[in-house]
């Protein structure tokens, strides 16, 4: 029984570049959310998608965007990377109340 899967697990990018992170939710889950977790802090909400529609957006700049596909998988895109974007990016899928996280993508911007 597969949980939430994310790819890639680690990524190193240069300032100014663009990155795409991918997430496959638990089978049957239609809601996908993205969070950013900086070392030593709790996850911060970026986006939520349900049935391919954006249902919520956190306090992040327009450089961050996302989408959800018909199979409920999702992509998070970040343009013009800054050093401060270095973090663990977590995807969570949900069927109702409980949110279950993937292992995350560790993004390092140099």
Partner 1 sequence: GENVEQHPSTLSVQEGDSAVIKCTYSDSASNYFPWYKQELGKRPQLIIDIRSNVGEKKDQRIAVTLNKTAKHFSLHITETQPEDSAVYFCAAKSSGDKLTFGTGTRLAVRP
Residues near partner 1 (CB under 8 A) are 31, 33, 35, 40-45, 48, 50, 55-56, 58, 90, 92, 94, 97-104
Nearest distance, CB of residue 43 and partner 1, angstroms: 5
Structure tokens that stand for 39 in this block: 């070392």
- What gap in Å lies between CA 92 and CA 72, rounded to an integer? 12
Structure tokens that stand for 101 in this block: 């996280």
Nearest distance, CB of residue 90 and partner 1, angstroms: 7
| Bridge partner residues of 78 (DSSP) | 19, 64
Nearest distance, CB of residue 12 and partner 1, angstroms: 17
């Amino acid at each position: 029984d597969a949980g939430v899967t994310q790819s890639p697990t680690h990524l190193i990018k240069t300032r100014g570049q663009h990155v795409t992170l991918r997430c496959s939710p638990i089978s049957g889950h239609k809601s996908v959310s993205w969070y950013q977790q900086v070392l030593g802090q709790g996850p911060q909400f970026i986006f939520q998608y349900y049935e391919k529609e954006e249902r919520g957006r956190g306090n992040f700049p327009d450089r961050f965007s996302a989408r959800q596909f018909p199979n409920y998988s999702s992509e998070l895109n970040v343009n013009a990377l800054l050093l401060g974007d270095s973090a663990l990016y977590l995807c969570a899928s949900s069927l109702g109340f409980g949110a279950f996280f993937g292992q995350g993508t560790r993004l390092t911007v140099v």
